[in-house]
Amino acid sequence: MMTKKLACLASTALVGCLLSATSAFAQSTASQANELEGVVVTAAGQKSVGGIIAETLPKTRSSVNEEFIATQVTGQSILQTLNLVPGLSFTNNDPYGSSGGNIRLRGFDGNRVSVTFDGIPLNDTGNYAIFPNQMLDGELISRASVNQGTTDVDSPTASATGGTINYSTRKPKSEMGALFTLSGGEDSYRRIFALAETGEFGPFGTTAWFAMSDQKYDKWKGFGTFEKTQYNARVYQALNDGDFLSLAVHYNENRNNNIRQMTLPEYRAFGRELDFTENCTSRVLNATNRTITETAPVVPGNCSDFFGRQVNPSNTGNVRGAASFHLAPSLRLTVDPSFQYVLADGGSQLATISETDGRVRGTATALGRDLNGDGDTADTVAFFAPSVTNTRRYGVTSSIIWDLSDNHRVRAAYTGDYGRHRQTGEYTNLNSDGTTTNVFGGKDGEGVKVATADGSFLRARDRFSIAQLNQVSADYRGRFMDDRLVVNIGVRAPYFERELNQYCYTQNASSVVGVVSGFAVSCTTQVPNAAAADGSVTFGTSTTKFIKPYSANVKYDDILPNLGASYELTDNHTVYASYAEGFSAPRTDSLYTATLRGGVGTPADVEPETTQTVDLGYRFSMPEVVASVALWNTKFQNRIVQSFDQDLGISIDRNVGEVKAFGLDAQAAWQLEEYLTVSGSFSYNNSELQQDLRTGTAATAILPLAGKKVVETPEYTWAARVDWDITEALSLGVQAKYTGDRFATDVNDEVAPGYSRIDLSLRYDIPFAKSTYVQLNVDNLFDEDHFGSISSRTNAVTIPGGAFGSAPTYHIGAPRTMQVTLRAEF
């Protein structure tokens, strides 16, 4: 028992742990089968260091397994658990994981990193965002992996230019059993998790498990709570020759209040405890004088700095199938179908509107509509108008794997991903205290819509898109020179199409930036003035040009090689090299930035982002030591930002410049004694912009970006962990992560200083049932005051002729937080 525990703790978040050859890998069923061939096997079994597998796959990858996940804070996002791996920087917005956070992987933000769950893509179909607070419960994850800078050849993604993060669900066990965890902690934290294993049942030895969790706690500052409920199940049927059928379901529901971000002056003036107001008031912060004033809002309910308005709800779920069939002794078919559902707010928006506004009158001849029921039409009224996204997504990844011989394998794969992406912003009413009557606004089947004078309803956004990926891929894996040389040659060919339907009037050549004043669409039945010669329309006496509602299709495709080779110099030393190209199709927000062409709305002319990444690596393994180091270089083209078009005389989303990046990722684990293991990682990242950005017609209207470092990306990070079994029953784990300075603006005129966080876990095994223990976790042990996630800007200080300054905002890192967990397995 002691040896097994040490084996898994030794893995830490740096090199992973596999305790059996059948442990689940990440990504698709076919990729799992391929990756098993990348494990060194000796006559005594898998070559390992205390259970740590020495992999020979020719790519840079780091993993954690379920034993390590169990040492972390319960209920935590798996992305925080992975934060010790090299190349990854994750900033958690609260100590327990329900408030989300930001990813940077070798300088790429989360929207440019593919995240998969049992091989299905989790990135949003519209803007590719990932949502850390909606991940699977940690107790159910068998393994999580980070591919730094590369994808698998069958990765089901149209957005991965910066690498992949993958995690897999645990497999049902053959024996009946149960697992319970009960956790409590600071900020009134309480969580219960329960898992029931059926063991083998029925005539075919079917296995299954069913699980649920419920979590609730207060924000670490200010007012409000985080609530999450999750249900999961998996049924598994083993077949002959290692084949199987599997069906899993997942449902997650979050009801959260946001934590207030603050600017650097606000932080210096008011400290990290500043948050939203307790009541619905108008608040003015004066950072210079360090004063705060609150007054009644001029428009009742118009109080965006109020915690009751800052809500972040989501309902997400999926169904995941997986199957493997041997069609012949050397020919296998794998099929992974899936369905996903998302209903979530993209922001907690406040909307005020006059009762005589054209959007209220619509096509009616009436002067207005009494929206607040006071008997007149002379008021401005506040409503809740969240940006709601509702997605239904269907996917399948399927492969044919042919073993030509013991040393040669070929694979052909197809990936289909079809997402129906509905984005709305229906108004709904407020309660008397300023809170919303429904967190999803007036969405169909949710809150009450706000009717206009002509029988329509008020909305701030109304559009529908279909995102469809069809991808074919193929790869070859061969072993040569007495299995010392492994060669991988692969290629994937994604074909991506977006159908765009804009049901509102779009302000000509402006980006969609919000739902309040300055929003670039007008969703109305109001009759516009006669169209101008260029096809644009205006409303009333306004001269602002709008594009009529429109539909359009855009298509993108590419051929992406994925190559690698590894060579075992001796039994202890291996070198490898890899080359991979990445591709990210433009997001919906970029494409809905329309212009008039031929009198009709036309999506922005934006090219896909592309990358080319080279890794050169070295691995060392001995019975007590596993270590690796990788040098990497990435070229990133067609970076999408908003810039000024001199021909049109306006700012639009477009491709600008290139990013060149290079760096080093290193990791190691060493079992010094049977009871003591140390591990660590180090990363260096140099990511630099190559081109200035034009912002206007004047000669001085240029942002000096050439030579600047990529925003939010630390140049140096390092991590370390020590696991010590003090006695047979008592074990201690201490881990540290250093995150270097990060620029908060593209022009590098504001910086978030580097910081170190140290976490502790202390576990005591209780001789009861199969496995029972009590565990203490202390997050941010030394109460480090630091900046976490950054909402970056182009420039903080106004550049004469270039751009007005806009202050970045920061999530302040949570203080020291303690949690106690009782875990029992039967």
pLDDT digits (tens, 9 = 90+) for 573-609: 999 999 999 988 988 887 887 777 777 888 877 888 8
Torsion of CA 321, 327, 329, 334, to 10 degrees: -20
Burial of 424 (0-12, 13-18, 19+ CB in 10 A): buried
Q: How far is CA 83 from CA 487, 736, 741, in A?
A: 30, 10, 17
Tokens representing residue 819 in the block: 């949690």
With H, G, I as helix, E, B as strand and everything else as coil, classify residue 477.
Answer: strand
User: What are the b/e assignments for 735-754, b being 16+ CB within 10 Å?
Assistant: bbbbbbebbbbbbbbbbbeb
**What does the alpha-carbon distance between residue 798 and residue 805 come to, in Å, rounded to a whole number?**
4
| pLDDT (0 to 100) of residue 423 | 93
With H, G, I as helix, E, B as strand and everything else as coil, classify residue 105.
Answer: strand
Phi-psi region of 70 (alpha: psi -120 to 50; beta: other; left: phi over 0): alpha
Q: How far is CA 399 from CA 154, 242, 476, 580, in A?
A: 9, 16, 13, 20
Residues 745 and 698 in one domain: yes
Pick the closest to residue 807 from 799, 817, 795, 818 (CA basis).
795
| pLDDT (0 to 100) of residue 54 | 54
Tokens representing residue 241 in the block: 């020759």
pLDDT, one tens digit per residue, over 417-448 is: 999 999 999 999 999 999 999 999 999 999 99
Of 108, 135, 169, the last residue of a domain is 169
| pLDDT (0 to 100) of residue 764 | 97
How do strand 163-169 and strand 141-148 relate by DSSP bridges?
antiparallel
Tokens representing residue 276 in the block: 């939203």
**What does the alpha-carbon distance between residue 520 and residue 500 come to, in Å, rounded to a whole number?**
17
CB 376 within 8 A of CB 504: no
Residues 141 and 219 in one domain: no
Walk across the sheet containing 101-105 and list its strands.
88-92, 101-105, 108-109
Pick the closest to residue 709 from 693, 741, 687 (CA basis).
687
Of 169, 191, 210, the last residue of a domain is 169
| pLDDT (0 to 100) of residue 215 | 97
Residues 159 and 203 in one domain: no
Residues 220 and 239 in one domain: yes
**What does the alpha-carbon distance between residue 267 and residue 777 come to, in Å, rounded to a whole number?**
28
With H, G, I as helix, E, B as strand and everything else as coil, classify residue 360.
Answer: helix
**What does the alpha-carbon distance between residue 353 and residue 370 come to, in Å, rounded to a whole number?**
11
- Residue 20 lies in domain: 2-169
Pick the closest to residue 220 from 811, 738, 810 (CA basis).
811
Pick the closest to residue 514 from 650, 385, 357, 644 (CA basis).
385
State the CB neighbour count (10 A cutoff) for residue 619. Answer: 22
Residues 6+ apart with CB under 8 A from 159: 111, 112, 114, 123, 128, 584, 585
| pLDDT (0 to 100) of residue 642 | 53
Pick the closest to residue 761 from 3, 4, 1, 5 (CA basis).
5
Residues 700 and 743 in one domain: yes
Kindly write down the DSSP assignment for every residue of 766-809, as one continuous string.
ESSSSEEEEEEEEESTT----EEEEE-BS-SS-BTTTB-----E
Residues 153 and 268 in one domain: no
pTM of this structure: 0.90
Of 136, 169, 202, the last residue of a domain is 169
235: CATH = 2.40.170.20
- Phi and psi, residue 52, nearest 5°: -90, 125
How do strand 114-117 and strand 163-169 relate by DSSP bridges?
parallel
Q: How far is CA 203 from CA 365, 378, 560, 815, in A?
A: 72, 74, 46, 54
| pLDDT (0 to 100) of residue 655 | 57
Residues 135 and 255 in one domain: no
Alpha helix locations (H) across 451-603? Answer: 588-591
| pLDDT (0 to 100) of residue 7 | 35
Residues 150 and 213 in one domain: no
Low-confidence ranges of the chain (pLDDT < 50): 1-26, 36-51, 510-519, 643-652, 654
| pLDDT (0 to 100) of residue 669 | 87
Residues 155 and 181 in one domain: no
| Domain tally, the chain | 2
Residues 669 and 782 in one domain: yes
Pick the closest to residue 562 from 10, 27, 59 (CA basis).
59
Residues 347 and 224 in one domain: yes
Residues 120 and 213 in one domain: no
26: CATH = 2.170.130.10
Burial of 565 (0-12, 13-18, 19+ CB in 10 A): middle
